[in-house]
Amino acid sequence: MRPMMFVSAMAGLLLCVCRQAGYQEIPLDELRDKIAGGWAGKMIGVSYGAPTEFRAQGKTYDEPLSWSPERVANALEQDDLYVQMSFMMTMDRWGLDAPAAKFAESFATAGYRLWHANVQARKNFQDGILPPESGSPKYNLHCDDIDFQIESDYIGFICPAMPQTANRMADKIGHIMNYGDGVYGGMFVAALYSAAFFEREIDRIVASAVRAIPPQSDYRRCVEDVIRLHQRYPDDWRAAWQELEQAWGDVDLCGALVPFNIDAKLNGAYIVMGLLYGQGDFAKTLEISTRCGQDSDCNPSNAAAVIGVMNGYRAIPEQWKSGIAAIADSQFIFTDYSFRTVVDRSLEYAKQLIVDNGGRIDGTRALIKAQPPLPPALEVSFPATIPIQRIAAEEMTAWLWDGPWQDHETAGKLQARSAEAAGASVAFGFTGNGIVITGDWLKDGGKADVYLDGVLHRTIDTHYYWAGEEKRNSFLWHAMNLRQGEHTVTLMVSGKKKTESLGTKLCITGATLFGTKP
Q: How confident is the model at residue 275 (pLDDT cuts 50, 70, 90)?
A: very high
Q: How confident is the model at residue 14 (pLDDT cuts 50, 70, 90)?
A: very low
Q: How close are the terminal C-alpha atoms of the chain, in Å?
A: 81
Torsion of CA 107, 269, 168, 252, to 10 degrees: 60
Could you tell me which residues are beta bridge partners of residue 367?
25, 360
- Name all domains of the chain by residue range, CATH numbers in brackets: 21-369 (1.10.4080.10), 385-516 (2.60.120.260)
CA pair distance 30, 32, nearest whole angstrom? 5
> Averaged over 252-265, what is the pLDDT?
94
Phi then psi dihedrals of residue 317, to 5 deg: -55, 145
CA pair distance 218, 247, nearest whole angstrom? 11
* List of residues 6+ apart from 240 with CB closer than 8 A: 226, 229, 230, 232, 233, 273, 277
- Tens-place pLDDT, residues 115-164: 999 999 999 999 999 999 999 999 999 999 999 999 999 999 999 999 99
Q: What per-residue confidence (pLDDT) applies to 5? A: 45
Greatest CA span in the chain, whole angstroms? Answer: 103
One-letter identity of residue 416: A
Sheet strands side by side (includes 455-461):
400-402, 425-432, 485-493, 447-452, 455-461
CA pair distance 171, 186, nearest whole angstrom? 9
Count of CB atoms situated within 10 Å of the CB of 73: 15
Helix (H, G, I), strand (E, B) or coil at 255: coil
Mean pLDDT of the chain, nearest integer? 95
CA pair distance 131, 99, nearest whole angstrom? 10
Q: What per-residue confidence (pLDDT) applies to 18? A: 37
One-letter identity of residue 379: E
Q: Is the Cβ–Cβ distance between 291 and 260 less than 8 Å?
A: no
Q: What per-residue confidence (pLDDT) applies to 19? A: 44
CA 476 vs. chain centroid, Å, equals 21
> Averaged over 453-466, what is the pLDDT?
98
Q: What per-residue confidence (pLDDT) applies to 483? A: 96
Q: What per-residue confidence (pLDDT) applies to 20? A: 61
Q: Is the Cβ–Cβ distance between 292 and 258 less than 8 Å?
A: no
> Averaged over 313-325, what is the pLDDT?
98
Count of residues making up the chain: 518
Q: How confident is the model at residue 9 (pLDDT cuts 50, 70, 90)?
A: very low
Q: How confident is the model at residue 398 (pLDDT cuts 50, 70, 90)?
A: confident
Q: What per-residue confidence (pLDDT) applies to 389? A: 94
* List of residues 6+ apart from 325 with CB closer than 8 A: none
Count of CB atoms situated within 10 Å of the CB of 426: 22
- Tens-place pLDDT, residues 432-443: 999 999 999 999
- Residue 239 belongs to what H/E stretch? helix 237-248
Q: Is the pLDDT of residue 346 over 70?
A: yes
Q: Is the pLDDT of residue 246 over 60?
A: yes
Q: Is the Cβ–Cβ distance between 307 and 324 less than 8 Å?
A: no
Q: What per-residue confidence (pLDDT) applies to 8? A: 43
Q: Is the Cβ–Cβ distance between 26 and 362 less than 8 Å?
A: no
One-letter identity of residue 401: W
Q: At what angle do helices 237-248 and 264-278 cross, to 10 degrees?
A: 170
Count of CB atoms situated within 10 Å of the CB of 95: 10
Quote the DSSP letter at residue 442. Answer: B
Q: What is the DSSP string of 302-316?
A: HHHHHHHHHH-GGGS
Q: Is the pLDDT of residue 12 over 50?
A: no
- Tens-place pLDDT, residues 181-196: 999 999 999 999 999 9
- Tens-place pLDDT, residues 349-389: 999 999 999 999 999 999 999 999 999 999 999 999 999 99
> Averaged over 248-259, what is the pLDDT?
92
**Does the predicted TM-score (pTM) go above 0.85?**
yes
